[in-house]
Amino acid sequence: MKENKQSQSPIILAIESSCDDTSCAISAKGKIRANVVANQTVHKNYGGVVPELASRAHLSHIIPVVDAAVKEAGIKTSDLDAIAFTQGPGLLGSLIVGNQFAKGLAVALNLPLIAVNHMEAHILAHFIDEPSPTFPFLNLTVSGGHTELVIMRDYFEQELIGQTLDDAAGEAFDKCGKMLGLPYPSGPEIDQLAKSGKIKFNFPEAKVGEFEFSFSGLKTSVMYFLKRELAKDPDFVKNEINNIAASVQFAIVKTLVNKTLRAAKKHQLKQIAVSGGVSVNSELRKQMESACKDIGAELYLAAPKYCTDNAAMIAMAAHFKYLKSDFCSLKTAAEPRLSRQNH
């Protein structure tokens, strides 16, 4: 593959397929020119992503999504300097679709390949639009699969200081939503319902290490709470859905904000960034803004389309990797449990 003709203003085509969104983005000189995302609706009634259905949907979405991104960016494939893909972490079958498609394109166009870590990309999404944080900064990543506090010292230099011991924050939203009869993913639905609700019910916070998270206890306490209340009034969920949503959301957001702020204070970091699908949550954004104001920290929140899974963040990470000639070979396999470079 040609790695000799290195451009200082590369045009990169990036593919993201780690879970249930098929996405392709094009970046030019580190600026996003296209970001096309095809969401999968097949999982709606299953309460979570069904891996087999996800890989099949990626197969049918990938060609139209890549075509649409190239068209939207107004480029020809001969303009491209590199092809990037999400190597992991994620669902194996889903990752393989993006991985193999990217390899096929790279071979056909004789271009170098760049493998991107999905979790690093969620954080590097903060460099897509201005203002971006400067190093070092503290990042909270909250998605369907992860809840992590990371100190970012450089683009690919990071220290993981805390994570969840069980369920991720997004998973907590989704599982509580499922108990309330809401479709998957329930995070956006709970966010919406909570807007007209009150924090009326109290759910206990898990007692874990200083920067650790645990959300499985919340799920259990919501389950017993609903059982108890439904035994007294079969219409309890129907009548109280907004208040339950507001209370569950408050319990999740409170822990996320408190731990992040404590970590920022302890590590004397004055810039806090939040990434991943749950960072779209309006209450989390509001509470983070007010907490950061209180301690005089700057808060960085990416545009919602760059918080949930998207290929623009993969293109951004790939741009920084391209500049340091960090290419991979055709042997680079999909890694469902891929860990970070440094932590």
Which CB, 143 or 247, lies closer to Zn ion? Answer: 143
98 binds ligand KG4 (CB under 6 A): no
Say how many Å lie between the first and final Cα of the chain, rounded. 31
> How many residues belong to the site for ligand KG4 (CB under 6 A)?
19
Shortest Å distance, C-beta 68 to Zn ion: 21
> How many residues belong to the site for Zn ion (CB under 5 A)?
2
149/203 Cα distance (integer angstroms): 23
309 binds Zn ion (CB under 5 A): yes
Shortest Å distance, C-beta 119 to Zn ion: 8
Contacts of 147-150 with C-beta under 8 Å, sequence gap 24+, read 147/213, 147/215, 147/256, 148/119, 149/211, 149/259, 149/260, 149/263, 150/123, 150/343
* Token representation of residue 39: 């969401």
67/81 Cα distance (integer angstroms): 17
Ramachandran angles phi, psi of 193, nearest 5°: -65, -35
Residue type (1 letter), 34: A
Which CB, 143 or 164, lies closer to Zn ion? Answer: 143
Where is 336: in which H helix or E strand? Answer: none
Q: 3-class secondary structure for 144-193?
A: CCCEEEEEEEECCEEEEEEEECCCCHHHHHHHHHHHCCCCCCCHHHHHHH
171 binds Zn ion (CB under 5 A): no
Half-sphere exposure of 320 (CA within 13 A, CB side): 19
Shortest Å distance, C-beta 146 to ligand KG4: 7
Q: What residues between 174 and 193 interact with ligand KG4 by CB under 6 A? A: 174, 185-188, 191
Residue 279 and residue 125 in contact, taking contact as beta carbons nearer than 8 Å = no
Q: What residues between 3 and 22 interact with ligand KG4 by CB under 6 A? A: 19
Shortest Å distance, C-beta 175 to ligand KG4: 9
Which CB, 147 or 271, lies closer to ligand KG4? Answer: 147
Residue 278 binding partner per list Zn ion, ligand KG4, none, with a CB distance cut-off of 5 to 8 Å that depends on partner kind: ligand KG4
Q: Which stretch binds Zn ion (CB under 5 A): 9-17, 185-193, 305-313, 325-333?
A: 305-313
- Which string of x and - marks every residue 26-55 that binds ligand KG4 (by CB under 6 A)? ------------------------------
- Which string of x and - marks every residue 137-166 that binds Zn ion (by CB under 5 A)? ------x-----------------------
89 binds ligand KG4 (CB under 6 A): no
Sheet containing strand 82-88, strands side by side: 31-39, 21-28, 11-16, 82-88, 113-117
Q: For residue 13, list its beta bridge partners.
A: 26, 83
214/218 Cα distance (integer angstroms): 8
* Token representation of residue 320: 């920084």
Q: What residues between 2 and 61 interact with Zn ion by CB under 5 A? A: none
Which CB, 19 or 272, lies closer to ligand KG4? Answer: 19
Which CB, 112 or 144, lies closer to Zn ion? Answer: 144
Which CB, 144 or 197, lies closer to Zn ion? Answer: 144
- Which string of x and - marks every residue 118-157 that binds ligand KG4 (by CB under 6 A)? -------------------------xxx------------
Ramachandran angles phi, psi of 50, nearest 5°: -95, 110
Q: What residues between 285 and 314 interact with ligand KG4 by CB under 6 A? A: 308-309
Which CB, 183 or 217, lies closer to ligand KG4? Answer: 183
Closest CA to 252 of 205, 209, 293: 205
Site for Zn ion, rule CB under 5 A: 143, 309
Site for ligand KG4, rule CB under 6 A: 19, 143-145, 170, 173-174, 185-188, 191, 276-278, 280-281, 308-309
